[in-house]
Amino acid sequence: MSTDVTKPPQDSEGFWKTRYTILVLNTLAMAISYATRVNISVAIVDMVNGTALREREAAEGIQLVRDPDACPGELVVLEDATGRRGGIIPAIQTTVCRWAPDHERSLFSIIFLGLFVGSLVSMAATGALCETAIGWPLSFYVFGAVGLLWSLSWFLQAADSPAQHPYIDPVERSYIEATIKSAAKTNLPVPWKSILLTPAIWALIAVMVTSDMSFYLLITSIPLYLAQVLHYDIRSNGIISAIPHITGTVGSLAFVWFTNFLLQKKFVSRIWTFRIINALGTLVPGAALVVVALVGCDAATVIAMLAISGFCTADCTSSYLNMQIIAPNYAGTIVGIINMFANLTGIAVPYIVGAFTNANPTRTAWNNVFYLSAAVATVSYLVYAVFTTTDEQPWNVPPSERAQKADTKEGIENTAFDEGITQIADGDTTQQAHLKAIVP
């Protein structure tokens, strides 16, 4: 084995890097994806002709429910809608593992800022677009056109990995490859059984289920609540529904900084960093929904609780970082598995809300929805806190590399968390861009 000490890998000169372009494109992809799926949550208010429904019910002799605890305002009759996300987050996870140096993973978590920016813009703009002469169809034309424009930029500027990018500076390419512990190696067999039998995976499923449930309530059901219970019109509904996404945008930046701060300063261990962050992201929104149920028609407090909930829901970036840490080679696969379960809440939430409120659209019925959501958040977080881990899973490493690790004393260190150690190139693994750490 060679013992020649080499200099740390050098990045390309200049402020802007090709990997930053990939970061921006993925952030925009997330924003546009959510904008095109969230707009229907507001547009549905205009799409459904409430007057016609009331006239039909009157003609058929159907009695409308009268709520003794109803808030002041006109009765609004609505239906609900929801959206899906067709594989973008798993694709982004794989891209991050191939493009982001280990010590920049938390920076690349800013991609998930697009989730809240897209939802914010969509919520705020859709209400205004629905009031134009064209009406609600305009919101679909606008966001669809934006998606097509993004696609053109993506095809011209993006690549699966630095090695496949036609314009990247060779120095930056070498730097990325030398500072990534795992380059999300292609063509590795997926250890399905090992993944599904890993408690940490189910811990992440639990926390993402409650995170997505809170988020789906914000984007698909809160507009309905604002219309049915607090009686806001279409424009006001769109603006108020956007508030959680305004605070979510701020929260996304705050949680990226806070997570990176805790990891770098090491005031607490890595595992407690993620426990703390996810406690804020699950328990606080659950508590906020309980407050919404208790304050009734106090619109100012309801809006404040929605703002707090939106801010804390933005912690989901830490969960995706947690996935990258425990199994970087299979980050995309793991996200696909976890999001499969989490996205079931996108189907379940409208049905749950409908089961409580369709026949009885009262404040009491909505309160039951909020109490149930808070209970799910509490149980899910406890599961996560008990079974989570930040250790790289043994099945993440191919058998050949696992045997190679067993032959060394120190193993391969992750430069994202162990800095300042002298790096030497291992002759057997230079081709794979792995670095061996020797502790003085």
What is the tens place of the pLDDT at every residue in 60-111?
444 444 556 666 654 443 344 444 457 677 788 778 878 888 777 777 877 8
Do the Cβ atoms of 400 and 237 come closer than 8 Å?
no
All residues at 6 or more sequence positions from 355 whose CB lies less than 8 Å from its CB, including other chains:
none
Q: What pLDDT score was predicted for residue 416?
A: 39
Query: To the nearest 10°, the Cα dihedral for 115, 120, 126, 129?
Result: -120
Residue positions counted in the chain: 440
Q: Which CATH architecture has domain 18-183+202-396?
A: Up-down Bundle (1.20)
Do the Cβ atoms of 85 and 344 come closer than 8 Å?
no
Q: What pLDDT score was predicted for residue 266?
A: 86
Distance, in Å, from the CA atom of 284 to the CA atom of 315, rounded to the nearest integer, reads 11
Assign 348 to helix, strand or coil. helix
Distance of CA 112 to the CA centre of its chain: 6
The residues of the chain scoring below 50 in pLDDT are 1-2, 49-65, 74-84, 409-440
Model-wide pTM > 0.75: no
| pLDDT tens track for 210-225 | 888 887 787 667 777 7
| pLDDT tens track for 9-25 | 777 777 888 888 888 89
Q: How far is CA 27 from CA 222, 282, 315, 354, 368, in A?
A: 25, 23, 16, 33, 36
Q: What pLDDT score was predicted for residue 99?
A: 86
Q: What pLDDT score was predicted for residue 400?
A: 62
Quick one: DSSP state of residue 435?
E
Q: Which residues make up the CATH 1.20.1250.20 domain(s) of the chain?
A: 18-183+202-396
Distance, in Å, from the CA atom of 255 to the CA atom of 237, rounded to the nearest integer, reads 27
